Amino acid sequence: MSGRVEYIPAKTIVLRTKDTSWFGTQYSMNIYRGCSHGCIYCDSRSDCYHNDRFDQVKVKADALRIIRDDLERKAKRGVVGTGAMSDPYNPLEKELLLTRNGLALLEAYGFGAAIATKSDLITRDMDILTSISRTMPVICKLTVTTCDDELAARVEPRAPSPSRRLAALEELSRAGLFAGVLMMPVLPFLEDSPGNIRTIVERAADAGARFIYPAIGMTCRAGQREYYYQQLESQFPGQGLAERYRKRYGTRYYCTSPKARELWDVFQEACVRRGVLYSMGQIIAASRRSCETDQLSLF
C-alpha cells in the first residue's frame, strides 16, 4: 500500500469554518486531497483550488498526529464537517483507516461529526458514529443526484451506485443515526425532471432518511466548466448538451435549472407528504435534538 500512496505535507487539518450555517459545523477536516469518484460535475476541479491531478487521491502526511494536536488546541468543542473537498471514504480509506481513526479522535476529544460521502463504506464506522452521537451531534449525508444507476455511471463513473448509497442510508437509519441525502447537484437537462425529484424523495424516505437537502442546478467555474463540457460531449454524444449549457449559462457561476421553481414545488410537496426535513435550520435543530435524546437515554 505505501508504494501506491502519495503523501503531501500539512501543517493543520481541523480548521475553523467561517459559516456555521452549513449543517451546524464549526470546524472542517479533510484528511485526503483529490477524489477518485470521477464525478464529471465536481466543483473541486475548479482552477481556484490549485489541485493538480485531481483524480489521484493524496494523503496528508502524519494526519492523525496533526488532528490530535489540532483538537487539543481547540478551546471550544463543536461539530467537525468532512467531505467538502474530497470524499473521506475513497478506496484508499478501506485500508488506511484514516477517516475511521480521525473519527475516533473526534470522539475522544468530545467533538461531533458531519460527514458527506458517496460511499457505502461509511457503514463500517457506525460503531464510532453511534458512540459520538451519545454526546454530540452526528449527521450522515449520502449524496444522491439520481436513482438511475445507469445515468449515475455516466456522471459519477467511479462512485458506488445510488442503489448502494441508499442501502447504506437504510443501514445507518436502522442503527439510529441521523442520516439523510444531499440532493446536489441536480444537473440541468439531465436530472432536472419531476420524476427524478420524486423518485429520490420516495426512495430516500423508504430508506429512513430524516432529511434531504437540495440544489436544483449546479455551479461552474474555470477549469471545472471546461472539463464538464468535454465529459458531456463524451458521455452523451450527439445530444448537444454542452452547447445548451453555453447558450443558457455562458460563464455564469450559478447554473440554476430552468425548471427550478416547478421542481422546488414538486420537491417540497414530496418531502412534506413523506415527513422528510428539507430546511437547513430544521435539519440542524433535529440533529441536536437527536443527540440530546441519546444523552437522556443514558440516565
pLDDT higher than threshold 70 for residue 3: no
- What is the per-residue pLDDT for 237? 96
- What is the per-residue pLDDT for 298? 46
- Over range 149-177, report the average pLDDT: 98
pLDDT higher than threshold 90 for residue 2: no
| pLDDT-derived band at 295, boundaries 50, 70, 90 | low
In whole angstroms, give the CA distance from residue 254 to residue 298. Answer: 46
CATH classification at residue 263: 3.80.30.30
For residue 292, what are the domain limits? 2-296
In the chain, how many domains are there?
Answer: 1
pLDDT tens-digit profile of 223-239? 899 999 999 999 999 99
- What is the per-residue pLDDT for 85? 83
In whole angstroms, give the CA distance from residue 227 to residue 235. Answer: 12
- 1 Cβ neighbours under 8 A, 6+ residues apart: 95, 96
The three cell numbers locating residue 183: 440532493
pLDDT tens-digit profile of 83-98? 988 999 999 999 999 9
pLDDT tens-digit profile of 46-59? 888 888 888 899 99
- Pairing outcome for strands 112-117 and 138-143: parallel
